[in-house]
Structure 1
Amino acid sequence: MRITGPPRTPAQRKQDVLTRLEREEDVWVATADGGGKPWLVALWFLWDGEAVWLATRATNPTGRNLREGRGVRLAFGDTRDVVLIDGEAEVFTREDVPAETVRAYVAKYGWNPGEDAPSYAYFRVRPLVVQAMRGEYEMTGRQVMRDGRWVS
């Protein structure tokens, strides 16, 4: 990507993040266990307008890390157009997940994880910090959300 203009405004970056959350299907999910061992996987996700929903087996490393540590980093894109979301995860069993979330997940992917296997759980990730940048020239002003609140 060649730099052809000025860095995006905070409002434009926020809009680009929201558009990406609606459009994208996959997200990189980074977690760590209690000993600090990192784990990185790509998962399908759902954006409900306030939080990112993930579904994975509660018994795999990602599920255990989300359940036990709650801290998570989500990454979209590549180094030329990246969105990073730091948040806290809350676990929902397939019995406790809101019905509207399941319906939206099935509508987006044609798959209901809760029907696939009993070990699947849903995780709601509430964003605390969101960064959006398109390379080095957009490092300044990259935080578009702090402490769970949009900057613009």
Structure 2
Amino acid sequence: MKSRMKIAAAATVAALSALSVAGPVAAQTWTLFSTTDRTAYLVDADTLAATDGMATPHLARVPRTGDAGDLSHDTEEVEVRCSDQQSRSGLSVSYGPDGAETDRYSEESPWERAPGGTIYANVVSFVCGDRRPAGTPYPDIAAFIAAGRK
């Protein structure tokens, strides 16, 4: 009986260790904030809070057409610096029709002030103006696609 308890205890410790290494799953609240004929733009509202005037919000580009089973989309981490209302591209990730990652790269773009009315200007205003996009929140991109990409 003692050996079974030791095995169970060891299994519990191993499971807890694995969870602590993996870390907590970050909450996501993807919200549509702009569209074109071809692309829907969403931002993860849970990544908009600035700390010391800096933030790294997550932006998603989702095709406006396609069936509900096609999970193709791209995400980008946009680095924002509020002191001068500038942004730059960070890590970009592409996902294929099955939702699996297909490509990952980082750009080393310079800090720039985004022209008014652009996607990046909207993202900067969400962070630095403490605004949040209006609209239906989705827990992930798949939920947005399943809801009809609208």
Q: Normalization by structure 1: what TM-score? A: 0.30
Larger radius of gyration: 2
Q: Normalization by structure 2: what TM-score? A: 0.30
Q: Which has the higher strand share?
A: 1
